[in-house]
Structure 1
Amino acid sequence: MIPLKLLHFIWNHPSNKGRRVQALCRSVGWQIHKRIRRTPQVHPMFDGVKLKCYPESNGAGLMIYTNGWPDYDEMHFVRRYLRPGDAFVDVGTNIGIFTLLASTCVGKTGHVLSLEANGRSFERLLENVQLNQFDSIVEAHCAAVGAENGTIRFLKGWDLINRIATEAEQQSGELPYDEVPSVKLDDKLSGRRFAMGKIDIEGAEPLAFRGAAEMLNAGNPPVWLMELKSHLLARFDTTPEMVRDMLAEHQYRLANYDADQNELTFPQEAWQGHGDVLAIHEPSLEEIQARLSITP
């Protein structure tokens, strides 16, 4: 019923340490439900948060398999670093996992800006925000992020990997897409100081950062969480090294975070491994480490 590879993933995921049997039982229950009932279920996740899980959603399934912590190190960084009253920006929100996590951290005095271009994912994001009564915290927009304001072609029907269409894909016309608004981060982030941002747009991160030069120069936000994978960036003629060098021009340095050790490290190729990295604004490093040293 559950593929061997998935069983191995569930058993060895750090979020399931000490509760592997429960995780397997929960996962088997989800597999049975989505095959027989095929209806959405509400599942408890982290810190009292609830998630509406649709049977066809890979993101929802991943949350169930990992006890609500699929990105173990990175999510624990968010939880440890953010403070009540902070502002957080979530670019490529999907169904809202990081938006919900950040909302629990920043509280009613904080602010979460969520940007998701796929219409169905955006609807489910709004459902999850309302389900958890985070409406007063979250400002959500159905829009892509790019180098310029305007419109952009966005692939649809790909669940977790919905993304901007490359020029070749647009010319071929073989893949379905929507025309969606595209905004610059320089415009969306201006007028507010953000503590942290997360960006996951399937290789189009450099396009977003080209539209964020003013904010990057200002170190706003001082921490970015992103995915740098060679095969995704190659779609847009970019490499992890090019992104690293682009951010270095704005005094950002790539880092990894070990949640169990509560430690930041700065390897030359921080993306080696699973590809998730933090970009740390070096002038803000002392303040960032001070936050990490105190459990909120």
Structure 2
Amino acid sequence: MTAASPATQAWHVLTFVWTHPANRHHRWRSLARACRYQVRGRLGRPTVATIGKRARIRVSLHDTAAAKVIYANPPDWNEMWAWRRHLRPGDLFVDVGSNAGSYALWAADAGAEVVAIEPSGAAAATLRANVALNPFPITVRQCALSAEPGQMWLTRDRGTTNHLLDAPSAEAETVDVDTLDNILGDRTAAGVKIDVEGAERLVLEGARRALAEGRIGVLQIEWNAMSERVLGESRVPVADLLTGHGYRLARPDRHGVLRPVTAVPSSSDDMFAVAPRGPLCRPS
């Protein structure tokens, strides 16, 4: 795939900033903030941004995962407001595939206790540095999650598109693997976000006990074509696994209200899954 030209990338950023609902009352100020970030980055200086009300995150130039926080707070409007509606102080939130930690910090800013899972050595270092900027109860676990504990391989130097491999590669690092059931033990998680570039089903396979016992209230799952590349399958097996445990598929509206979906969609917007007695509204 050919990389977009700098002009195209700049246009995408400007469009994102200008049209984002978080910026509707201060678009010009948001554009100025984005420009300052770009200038500072080219001078080798990171920018510290706010996410939520008081969480802080350090963003360096070309840090794709964290840069969206510079452009809008919160960057993933519908999804992050769904968590702000759902999480309560003291709840447990598990961020699987945390990267720089924007979701972990957003959840902690809402009062949740957070376990942030990140297998990449470089990303885990960035995550720990961002956690250290804040006074929140966030535990960082440097490992991947899958169906069984052990070891796997993770691609390197691909930023947010690093993904798991089931065989060694010269372009991959060896990573420890655990299961979500082991991470949770006997605890109940109010929320779990899973963004692992196509291997989401493997994470859910390792959470069958928690799912069967209804000890995960709401899940957010990346829902794109990466599963076809990594596992050679669509998202249907993920939907079947979740609905088989009584979970209902939903997507958040612009107010963060979870609305049910009646069929397994193929679009790239993240999917939510709600436990049988969890918060779900009727379709609008």
Matches within 5 A, 1:128-277: 128-134=130-136, 137-165=137-165, 167=166, 170=167, 173=169, 176-229=171-224, 231-235=225-229, 236-260=231-255, 262-269=256-263, 271-277=265-271
Question: Pick from 104, 110, 114: which aligns with 2:109?
Answer: 104
TM-score (norm 1): 0.87
Unaligned residue ranges in structure 1 (runs of 5+): 291-296
Pair 1:17-2:17 in alignment: no
Question: Pick from 66, 75, 78: which aligns with 1:60?
Answer: 66
Spell out, residue by residue over 1:197-238, the C-alpha distance to the aligned partner (whole angstroms, 9 max, x if none).
111001100011111111110112120011111x21102122
Whether the aligned pair in 2 keeps the contact of 1:271 and 1:277 (CA below 8 Å) is: no
For 2:30 and 2:261, the matched residues in 1 are separated by 33
Distance of aligned partners of 1:187 and 1:45 in 2 relative to their CA distance in 1, 3 Å threshold: closer
Spell out, residue by residue over 1:131-190, the C-alpha distance to the aligned partner (whole angstroms, 9 max, x if none).
0122xx11211000011100110111111222212x4xx47x4x6111010001111111
SS at match of 1:95: coil
Aligned to 2:4: none
For 2:237 and 2:26, the matched residues in 1 are separated by 41
For 2:188 and 2:76, the matched residues in 1 are separated by 25
Whether the aligned pair in 2 keeps the contact of 1:255 and 1:270 (CA below 8 Å) is: no
SS at match of 1:195: strand
Q: Which runs of 4+ in 1 moved over 3 A?
A: 269-274
For 1:271 and 1:145, the matched residues in 2 are separated by 25
TM-score (norm 2): 0.90
* More helix, by proportion: 1
Spell out, residue by residue over 1:234-278, the C-alpha distance to the aligned partner (whole angstroms, 9 max, x if none).
021221222111111111111011133x53221224645442111
- Give the drift of 1:45: 2.7
For 1:151 and 1:128, the matched residues in 2 are separated by 26
RMSD after superposition: 1.8
Paired amino acid for 1:98 = Y
For 1:270 and 1:85, the matched residues in 2 are separated by 33
- Give the drift of 1:195: 0.8
Whether the aligned pair in 1 keeps the contact of 2:51 and 2:102 (CA below 8 Å) is: no
Unaligned residue ranges in structure 2 (runs of 5+): 1-6
Paired amino acid for 2:204 = F
Paired amino acid for 2:142 = C
- Give the drift of 1:40: 1.8
SS at match of 2:151: strand
Distance of aligned partners of 1:289 and 1:256 in 2 relative to their CA distance in 1, 3 Å threshold: closer
Is the deviation greater in 24-33 or in 193-202? Answer: 24-33
Aligned to 2:11: 4
Q: How many residues align?
A: 273
Distance of aligned partners of 1:13 and 1:270 in 2 relative to their CA distance in 1, 3 Å threshold: farther
For 1:228 and 1:8, the matched residues in 2 are separated by 23
